[in-house]
Amino acid sequence: MFRELIRKKQKLTMEECLQILKTEKRGVLSVNGDDGYPYGMPIDHFYNEEDGKIYFHTGNVGYRLEALRRSNKVSYCTFDEGYKEPGEWNLHIRSVIVFGTIEILDDVRGHEQIVDIATKLSHKFTNDEDYIQEEIQKDAHRTLLLALTPENICGKLVNEK
């Protein structure tokens, strides 16, 4: 169902892919938009090792949610900052693409889970507990959680030469 990587020498191991998902803060989530057009948007993520899902938080209205309610199939792409070999100008970038389905979790069904994941996601950006708790108290009741269940994860090392 999912295509194999053509340049097999560039393929990342599953462990490398999961490490990128754990450490990188954001990527682009693409949904099936209006009239067959893909709709991609930058978004922060949290990879949960316990259940293998990728979580995003979002408001409770908007085009993204409308699209997800029509079709829950998505792709998510994230990549690292890259590195340069000594004496070279080109970047070597590791990227990961995840295909899967999204479940929308709301406050009624999962308030505790929303608070837990929002806290973990916030720790990727700051360790200021007072700020994190204040924001969660203020916004958790109007926050939805998107849970991406991966069906395929693939990563590769790209050399910009």
Q: Please report, in tens digits, the pLDDT of each residue of the chain (161 residues total).
A: 788 887 888 999 999 999 999 999 999 999 999 999 999 999 999 999 999 999 998 888 899 999 999 999 999 999 999 999 999 898 999 999 999 999 998 765 567 888 888 888 888 889 899 998 888 888 777 788 899 999 999 999 988 77
Torsion of CA 84, 85, 86, 89, to 10 degrees: -50
- What DSSP state is assigned to residue 56? E
Rounded to two decimals, the pTM is 0.89
Beta strands at 144-159 and 53-58: parallel, antiparallel or unpaired:
antiparallel
Return the SS3 of 82.
Answer: coil
